Amino acid sequence: MLSDPKALQHVLVTHASNYPRHPIIRSYLGDIVMGEGLVSSEGAKHDAQRKMLNPHFTAAQVKGFVKVFEQLATRCCATILEAAATAHTRLDMASVLQTLTLEIIGQVAFGFDFHEHPEALGAYQQLQLAPSPLLLIGMFSVPGFIHWPLPPLRRRRAAKNVLATVISDVIEHKLASVNPSSHDDNHQDLLDRILTDPTSTTNHDAVTHVMTFMTAGHETTSSSLAWVLVELAARPLVVARIRQEVHTLTSVSDHATTSPLATWEGIHSLKYTQAVIQETMRLHSVFFQLARRVAEQDDNVPLCDGATLPLPKGTSINVLTSAMHLNPKSWTNPTEFTPERFMQDTPEWAADATLRQSKSHAFVYMPFSIGSKNCIGHRFAIAELLVIVATFVQNFDFALTDKANVRHLYNAMTVVPANLEMTVSRVSTTS
């Protein structure tokens, strides 16, 4: 297991080609995304895919999706949350967040509304079910296990077939329609952009890319949002500060036809809200470790203290982000919730910088990994998180019920609260 920042720079960046993802991990991820996509490919194929997809995830491109985030977050507030607040009913907020983020990624990834297609929704939910511990051991330990004729694996394969058919049908419809490239970029989904990209490849690759966006863009975001709500439920002063920041932004734009929460510039002015999200992602690593790597050749890995670590060919390497994010050598008071540590020119930022000898936190804070295999959609994720957190906090207070359980639970994809049952109450207009 590696956590030394200099060693991580060596393995994940400067010598990353010697440390591909472990074949079993690639097989497991490839099964989920139905092919060799960004999370399962290596070498020249990964480089080509990354080169083709990178232009679609720049800040300029993600800007066009912010309005969708705001529209669906506002709809969730006006329907599900408003109904629960009015009736004083309890909500499984994990389910609410999963539904919301799935709606967002369905529309943004390939212009699809899951709730108009219950068969596709059921298939996706089946694919997202947490495997039993025994199945997990098999998936991560036995080559080819995912193809065994076991009932739960058969159900996964059937669900994949349904989703593959749905996405393929969407692709065929888009290809048969008027050229999407003639449309305003702000009205194109990611699939439109891929299909009109001259460097794009086959329809099967497009299916894999859509599944990659859905899996990475749905589960991780909903899990991160769940932990934000856990932290906010315990911290009324943090909630008040977010709410004031949002109020300041929206009050100067009352005359605007578009909410500032639906604009890239507006949401990125919410510096404290973003710091709360970043601190939550530090304390609650939804990916508690990066995908396991394996050394292809013998290597000597440099460490911060000047020593070297010999890694023979075939050595498996785990990077525990959950431990790295709580390392007292990198973070002052590492178990405390301190959003200000992510705000430049604050004492908390300066204290952490001093501890790290003014070095960047790039190799001690990795919610989106780092290097050529970092999360291509990190700008997308942060923008979506900002919009949803700001919209929710602007309108509602959230409280954990007596049945809630916020222990960390691994669901085979991410780390989530074991039970996020909450009550919601509408914010007074005079507050």
What are the beta bridge partners of residue 417? 408
Within 8 A by CB and 6+ apart from 188, the residues are 64, 180
Rounded Cα gap, residues 144 and 130, in angstroms:
19
CA atoms within 13 A on the CB side of 297: 5
Residue 365, token pair as written in the block: 């804070």
CA dist list (Å): 251 to 247, 266, 389, 393? 6, 12, 18, 15
CA dist list (Å): 388 to 152, 278, 336, 356? 34, 14, 24, 32
| Binding site residue list for heme | 375
Rounded Cα gap, residues 93 and 101, in angstroms:
12
| Binding site residue list | 375
Rounded Cα gap, residues 146 and 161, in angstroms:
15
Q: Where are the alpha helices (DSSP H) in 268-421?
A: 271-283, 321-324, 347-355, 378-395
Rounded Cα gap, residues 94 and 125, in angstroms:
13
Rounded Cα gap, residues 362 and 347, in angstroms:
20
Amino acid symbol at 350: A
Torsion 238-244-247-248 (CA) sign: negative
